[in-house]
Amino acid sequence: MLGVHLSLAIGPTLPLPATADIAEAVQSVSVTQNDEGRSGFQIVLQVGRSGAVDMRDYRLLQNPLLRPFNRVILTVLFNALPQVLMDGIITNWQFSPGNQPGLGTLTLTGEDVSVMMDLKKKRANYKTMSEPLIARAIILSYPQYGLIPDVVWPTGASQPLPTGKTPVQQATDLEHLKDLGKRFGHVFYVEPTAAPGFNTAYWGPPKRSDTPQRALTVSMGPQTNVEQISFTYNGLAATLVDDLVQGKKGPFPVLTFKSTREPPLASMPALETQLPNIRTTLLEQGSGALDEDDARTRAQGITDKSVDSVATAQGELDGLQYGGVLRPRGIVGVRGAGLTHDGSYYVKSVSHSISKGQYKQRFSLTREGTGPVSMTVVP
């Protein structure tokens, strides 16, 4: 495939380039990258029997490199520039013998290395540790997967006193990281770096300040690089908190008025243009009294999270026509779709589908409303 080449490394803990029999058997690869939770991959290999060696079983099925819990690194070389799409773990495989010789398939399915953080539930105490310090400590406990912590200190995070309540964990490490993030509207994900075998483990708000990527162009003749795209506006998504919360010193009001996601991506955000038709909600209060700062932090997290689903776009582009790899968890501009839908969006997810002669990228974009903040985007 001119301009695009895929390389595969596979093996335990530190994978090596795939052996010739595995590399030649690869028929297609798909990778889905999300800004929340685990990203996934699927590799389809063609299998068959040839000669006495394969009489008892298919040779590839006996290869120990293809067993669950081996590590896989998928790198796409786009116009001589390498980019790691996936650093993951095989979690299961599916075999289909086929109806004709040589047409069997072995499908390997897996998830990014954060799946190894979700295997064991445990109890742990984090005395005098705030949420970001807990997140960092958990991430650093997985050095074998090259995790580099990127922890953003949220507004409202407080340092527990030695005489106060001790933060506890009764979940898997991945579940606990997500639960900690929910309090602030944060996300947690693991993404590969440019150096194979090393991954950034990000705990923080969705990234909106990175350098924008090459624009997605719609209906602009030869400059068009998007094969299809559709936009949706959800008028019920944006949510404010309006509650009277029971605190240690009595009830106190908890209100939110706007999103703190920065920088803004829409000139007409739902929380301003839909007034007074905005949904409101209450805080989940459990059995004990809430601290005022904690209650207001949780309330703001609810509002920030809600605006991520107001305006969304789904589409597909051709990798060669786009001339690069669209990255999730960053910003991209849209042009040619009209004033309502043009402008900058946050890239929530990208699914890559690679086979001989084809490289497609399906994407999902979000922002808090309609209309562009700026009339120009990165071309």
Domains of the chain with bracketed CATH: 4-116 (2.40.10), 118-204 (3.55.50), 239-307 (no CATH)
| Cα separation of the two ends of the chain | 25
Non-local (6+) Cβ contacts of 192 within 8 A are: 73, 84, 85, 86, 87, 198, 199, 200
pLDDT (average), residues 72-95: 91
d(CA 113, CA 139): 12
Residue 299 has pLDDT above 90, yes or no: yes
d(CA 303, CA 261): 10
Tell me what the pLDDT averaged over the chain comes to.
91
> So what's the pLDDT on residue 78?
79
Task: Provide the residue type at 250 as one letter.
Answer: G
Token pair, residue 376, equals: 């120009």
pLDDT tens, residue by residue, 340-358:
999 999 999 999 999 888 8
> So what's the pLDDT on residue 54?
59
Residue 179 has pLDDT above 70, yes or no: yes
> So what's the pLDDT on residue 210?
81
d(CA 369, CA 343): 11
Q: How many other C-beta atoms can be found within 10 angstroms of the C-beta atom of residue 45?
A: 23
> So what's the pLDDT on residue 344?
96
Non-local (6+) Cβ contacts of 91 within 8 A are: 68, 69, 109, 110, 111, 115
pLDDT: is 322 or 356 the higher one? 322
Contact 73, 8 (CB under 8 A): yes
Edge to edge, the sheet with strand 250-255 lists 250-255, 239-247, 279-281
> So what's the pLDDT on residue 156?
73
Task: Provide the residue type at 374 as one letter.
Answer: S
């996936």: which residue's tokens? 86
> So what's the pLDDT on residue 231?
98
Q: How many other C-beta atoms can be found within 10 angstroms of the C-beta atom of residue 198?
A: 14
pLDDT tens, residue by residue, 140-155:
999 999 999 999 998 7
d(CA 72, CA 309): 32
Q: What is the Cα 263 distance to its own chain's centre?
A: 20
Contact 352, 85 (CB under 8 A): yes
Edge to edge, the sheet with strand 199-204 lists 147-151, 199-204, 187-192
- Please list the residues that pair with 10 across neighbouring strands: 16, 72
Residue 59 has pLDDT above 60, yes or no: yes
> So what's the pLDDT on residue 101?
67
Residue 206 has pLDDT above 50, yes or no: yes
Give the residue among 139, 113, 148 at the shortest CA–CA distance from 38. 113
- Please list the residues that pair with 49 across neighbouring strands: none
Non-local (6+) Cβ contacts of 28 within 8 A are: 43, 44, 353, 354, 355, 356
